[in-house]
Amino acid sequence: MSPTLPASQDPTDQAEGAPAPSPCRFLFPGIRSIRGKLLVMISIVAGLGIIATATASFALWRMEDKIRIIESFYELNQKVLEIRRHEKNYFLFNDRKDLLNALDYVDQVRASIVAVKAVLLENKSELELLYDEELGRYETISRQLLRDELSPRNKQSLENALRKHGQNITKSIFEMDTKARIRVEREVAGYQKTAVLILALAVGLGSVLILYMMRWIMRPLTAIREASSRIKQGEMSSIPMNSDIQCSVEGIELVNSLNLMLQALNAKQNQLVQSEKLAAIGKVTAGIAHEINNPLNNISLTAEVLLEDLPNLACSERMDMVRDILVQSDRAREVVHHLLEFSRTRKSNIMVPVDLVALMESSIALVKNQFRLGGIVHNFHHPDEPVLISGTPNHLQQVLVNLMLNAVQAMQPDGRLDLAVSAQGQEARVVVSDTGAGIAPEALTRIFDPFFTTKNEGTGLGLSLSYAIVKDHGGDIEVKSEPGRGTTFTLIFPRLSKDL
């Protein structure tokens, strides 16, 4: 029912001869399915996750090594302090056992230095110097102090040297421990920065991919939504396969399915329109038969008079009778022509300029005998100049005939039907007003629903199809009714300029 524009002639298409842009110039242009792009993006995210996991695992492994270094230096530092404690006790109490205990801890310090060197990857020279020289000198001086034949002067000199070497050992261990801690803290900070960088990279790339996917998915959906809006407005009858939709396999499948559905709906709607039209033809059959019967009777009577009195009639009388036969034949031909025009099935929905005044006059001619049989008085008010709209005459005439037949059925004899066509600014209006029984308020909101009817007979599709036809023409229907006083239907259409 909608006016058609072939999909290939979409007004939004580029002018002929213009270079067509690549429809899929975004990420992964070779992949046009949502499933494929999702798999690629999931693979990228999974790859980032694997890299982040590997980096974190490596960082944890390295941090474990650094922790072992700190623990080894801590143990080494504690043993050196034990050496200094026994050394201090020796100086205070002059007990040789304290000096022997200090020598035992020297051996333990050497073992700890070997353990530290096993986990320390760099700066081993300071440990080797401490192991070979400082501890060796400290052990030598300690053993010299254990001799009995030392003079007080030599003993004092050796004690001063022992104290000095002990201080040097403590200072060296403390400096190496400090350097190791600073190095570990620096490396841990580096691992943290790397983790943050990878996390930021994953979040940034994930956000870009999400935004891209949203845009890539929404572009064909937006194109379909805009095309659907234009179909609703009657500008086209199918969704064009533009470049945005061609970027997505799912978009192409969806558009093909929707277009097939639209074709099926249009076919069903045309069938409903034709069935309702046939029902309307059935309603006017009695009036049409009466309208045709009158001229046929006149033709028959005139022919009988000619047959009986032909020799006695003057030439002028015979000519008048023949002219009367021709006039009555034209009258019958006109009635049949209106009926054929109304009943003819037109598959073309192309919009053409339509004069509402002329269309209303031809519609009245089609149902005027219904007025006569029902005892209805009708009045038609219209301007002298044409009132043009863009539409399909056959469909619009079906709306007018349906409204007039409904009005006739709603009125008693001596009822009045007021018809009017007018132009108001950019709008063209058609008014069908009767003095019938009116419509109850609770039914007024449902009169355009399919299969809803207040009559004992009828399909309930007449007003529903009339509403759909008016909407397809970019128009609207207003209805006012008061029970017991009548109903007024007003059709409003966009008006065309007379110059078109």
> CB neighbours of 286 closer than 8 A, spacing ≥ 6?
369, 370, 373
CA distances from 83 to 77, 154, 174, 445 (A): 10, 22, 14, 103
The residues facing 417 across adjacent strands are 378, 434
The residues facing 492 across adjacent strands are 429, 476
pLDDT of residue 199: 78
pLDDT of residue 500: 52
Write out the two tokens for 183.
């190095």
pLDDT of residue 479: 92
Which CATH class, in words, describes the domain spanning 34-213? mainly alpha
CA distances from 121 to 62, 70, 208 (A): 12, 13, 42
Pairwise CA distance, residues 204 & 218, whole Å: 21
The one-letter code for the residue type at 447 is I
> CB neighbours of 64 closer than 8 A, spacing ≥ 6?
none
349 and 399 Cβ atoms separated by less than 8 Å: no
The domain locations on the chain are 34-213, 263-494
SS3 for 252? helix
Enumerate long-range contacts of 298-301, CB under 8 Å, 24 or more apart.
Answer: 298/324, 298/325, 298/328, 299/325, 299/328, 299/329, 299/332
Which CATH class, in words, describes the domain spanning 263-494? alpha beta
What string of pLDDT tens digits covers the 500 residues of the chain? 444 333 433 433 433 343 444 455 555 666 667 777 778 878 887 887 788 788 778 877 877 877 888 888 888 889 999 999 999 998 898 888 998 998 899 889 888 888 888 877 666 777 788 788 888 898 899 888 888 788 888 889 988 998 998 898 888 888 888 888 888 888 878 877 887 888 788 788 878 878 877 777 788 888 888 888 887 766 677 888 887 777 778 888 888 888 888 888 877 766 666 666 566 555 556 556 655 766 777 677 778 777 777 777 778 877 877 877 887 677 677 667 656 655 554 545 678 899 999 999 988 887 887 888 788 999 999 999 999 999 988 889 888 988 998 898 889 888 999 999 999 989 999 999 999 988 888 888 888 877 667 666 555 667 877 888 898 888 999 999 988 889 999 999 999 876 55
Alpha helices in 94-151 (DSSP H): 96-119, 125-129, 135-145
> CB neighbours of 316 closer than 8 A, spacing ≥ 6?
none
